[in-house]
Amino acid sequence: MKSTLEETPSSQISVLEGENNNDHNNLDQNDQIIVEVDPINRHEFIHQQNLIIERENEIQTIESGITELNEIFNDLSNIIQEQGIVLDNIEANLYTYSDNVQDAHRELRKASYYQKRSRGKQFCFLVVLMVILFLILVAMVLG
């Protein structure tokens, strides 16, 4: 097996494998690995490194944006849960308010009934009192 490789940090490597008539796991003398090296100049190497660094920075920016978005969604989820609790409390208060209004309406009916009944009793009491006073006056004048 023969291979040639120039060791430069700015090399582009492509590997080709020759035809194999035997099993793929066993390499024999007819197999060849050809390594082609295209040397690049220092300026292109620096440019490629800058592109890699720029991509890495963009990926980190995207990652931080996704993390921030995740935090926003978590905050939104918490707010929605809190608002659900508030809405449940409002609903419970509305049912309580409705029950209280119905109870107050019944109490007002009772009060109106007792007030009407009370007026009749007060009138009867006043008439009886007037009759007693009249009888006392008549008894004092005649007596």
CA atoms of 4 and 18, how far apart (whole Å): 15
Q: What mean pLDDT is predicted for residues 35-62?
A: 89
pLDDT computed for residue 30 by the predictor:
63
Cite the beta strand spans of 1-143 per DSSP E. 12-17, 33-38
pLDDT digits (tens, 9 = 90+) for 115-139: 888 888 888 889 999 999 999 999 8
Map out the domains of the chain as residue ranges: 1-40, 41-105
How confident is the model at residue 98, as a pLDDT? 92
pTM beyond 0.75: the answer is no
Classified as helix, coil or strand, 2 is coil
pLDDT in tens, 51-103: 999 999 999 999 999 999 999 999 999 999 999 999 999 999 999 999 999 99
Q: Which token pair is 73?
A: 């969604």
